[in-house]
Amino acid sequence: MPDIAVAVVPNAPGVPARGAVPAYWEAAQRFLAEADPVIAALIEAHPHECLRSRGDPFQTLMRSIVGQQISLRAADSVWARLCQAAPPRPETVLALGPERLRACGLSQRKTEYILDLARRFVDGGLHVGRWAGMDDEAVIAELMRVRGIGRWTAEMFLMFNLLRPDVLPVDDLGLRRAVGLLYFGSESADIAAVRHVAAHWAPWRSVATWYLWRALDPVPVEY
């Protein structure tokens, strides 16, 4: 199995540092390579790459909202314009206001969502320091109380910020397309088919999902 430099993710309250690599990655690679020949081939094709934490919870959630229902390329373009307008921090986003946010390419609805998210970070409405000690479903439930954050966005947060190992985002169009193409020779797979294929990926379904995304795009997905 190819070597990857692995940083230990702390168990204390808080979130992994930016760029942190999951401590479980090599164990997950070994398990999945034995369990699934499709994933084994993807691991072999991308030997020195892995999921890395975005580090900052607000940026991760904001970036996930930006990426809702648009292509990765379009999301990257909007994100770049937002970062040019101001550092993506709760206080600076609130200071930009709705008109300047929309000028960066955000829809009216996404502008409202991002401003609501920023306010909750500023006023303490989200318990960021507790998330590392909460189970996946508890974090999802808290995040889904924020406007514009549904289950998919919360799952992206679990994967890309908290580095949770066993998330299966069955509503993700990229995952469904990759499963359809690689396992069924079709344009996409339905949710039942994804669950069926993923049954033998546990407890490393986040890792399998990440590799299947790589089958569609040479650039690693980040949120």
Question: In the chain, pLDDT over 90 holds for what percent of residues?
Answer: 71
Place 19 in a pLDDT band, splitting at 50, 70 and 90: low
In a domain, 117, yes or no: yes
In a domain, 99, yes or no: yes
Is residue 154 scored above 50 in pLDDT? yes
pLDDT in tens, 125-145: 898 989 989 999 999 999 999
Q: What is the pLDDT of residue 223?
A: 60
The pTM assigned to this predicted structure is 0.81
In a domain, 206, yes or no: no
Q: What is the pLDDT of residue 68?
A: 85
In a domain, 221, yes or no: no
Instruction: Identify the CATH number of the domain in which residue 94 sits.
Output: 1.10.340.30
In a domain, 84, yes or no: yes
Place 64 in a pLDDT band, splitting at 50, 70 and 90: confident
Q: Residue 26 burial (CB < 10 Å; 0-12/13-18/19+)?
A: middle
More confident site: 182 or 132: 182
Is residue 177 scored above 80 in pLDDT? yes
**Omega into 98 within 30° of 0, i.e. cis?**
no
pLDDT in tens, 69-124: 888 789 999 999 999 999 999 999 999 999 999 999 999 999 999 999 999 999 98
DSSP the chain: ------PPPP-SSS-PPTTPPPTTHHHHHHHHHHH-HHHHHHHHHSTT--------HHHHHHHHHHTTTS-HHHHHHHHHHHHHHS-S-HHHHHHHHHHHHHHTT--HHHHHHHHHHHHHHHHT-S-GGGGGGS-HHHHHHHHTTSTT--HHHHHHHHHHTS--S----TT-HHHHHHHIIIIISSS---HHHHHHHHTTTTT-HHHHHHHHHHHH-SSPP--
Question: In the chain, pLDDT over 70 holds for what percent of residues?
Answer: 89
In a domain, 28, yes or no: no
The residue segments making up the domain with residue 124 are 57-160
In a domain, 217, yes or no: no
In a domain, 167, yes or no: no
Number of domains in the chain: 1
